[in-house]
A and B are shown apart, each in its own frame.
Chain A
Amino acid sequence: DAGITQSPRHKVTETGTPVTLRCHQTENHRYMYWYRQDPGHGLRLIHYSYGVKDTDKGEVSDGYSVSRSKTEDFLLTLESATSSQTSVYFCAISPTTDRAFFGQGTRLTVV
């Protein structure tokens, strides 16, 4: 899986609690992304990073924040989880403009 590790792989949390998902890469790629995957919507970009401490919003960024303090780690935080954030979350890394590699995903359930 192109040196991408997502953790945790599965998580159940309660509405209103904060949740942090981690993406770790061993490839030293500059660009990293967080997507969510929902039936009927394909994948939608939440946030992306183009370097340490450089991040930008994606298509569905409301309710999410990210941080990247090291090249290898990109964290996605749900400040106060809601049921609408139940989804499968994928991290991706990109070595060039023409290619991206996805992690195995994190299945998050908010009850």
Chain B
Amino acid sequence: QQQVKQSPQSLIVQKGGISIINCAYENTAFDYFPWYQQFPGKGPALLIAIRPDVSEKKEGRFTISFNKSAKQFSLHIMDSQPGDSATYFCAASTSGYNNNDMRFGAGTRLTVKP
């Protein structure tokens, strides 16, 4: 079963709008939650990551919100731009990389319309 469930599968947002992608996890031992951005024909690239000692992390227009009790975290893209059109993956693991338990969500294809 998928340990990290991501929704929605696809999302269409108007330029300037807010894009919101949600993820839920099952393993309470997970303590590292990254988001990846992937453009067609390219490998995923780390966008932003959070650890459960904080409830929110912001980097530019990208914000992760984290709810430990609900075992959920989400990515908010403010002022969405056509250049943000990509597939986004959430993930979760214990202690980051360098082990074998990183689990990815199925991905969300974001389209930002001009």
Interface residues of A (CB under 8 A from B): 1, 4, 31, 33, 40-45, 48, 50, 56-59, 90, 92, 94, 96-105
Contacts and interface: CB of A to CB of B under 8 A. Distances in A.
A103 B43 contact: yes
Interface string B62-100: 000000000000000000000000000101000111101
Interface string B8-40: 000000000000000000000000100000000
B45 interface: yes
Contacts of B104: 41-44
B43 A102 contact: yes
B96 A98 contact: yes
Contacts of B106: 40-42
Given A42-B89, A97-B98, 9 more contacts: A31-B97, A42-B4, A59-B100, A98-B32, A99-B46, A99-B97, A100-B97, A102-B44, A104-B43
A74 B102 CA distance: 19
B43 A42 contact: no
B114 interface: no
Q: Is the interface of B mostly helix, strand, loop or mixed?
A: loop
A56 B49 CA distance: 25
A94 B98 contact: yes
A60 to B, nearest CB: 11
A99 B105 CA distance: 18
B41 interface: yes
B43 A94 contact: no
B74 to A, nearest CB: 16
Most chain B C-beta atoms within 10 Å of own C-beta, residue among A42, A56, A101: A42
Given A1-B43, A100-B46, A45 B97 contact: no
Given A40-B106, A45-B102, A104 B42 contact: yes
B6 interface: yes
Contact of B100 (A48, A92, A96, A101): A48
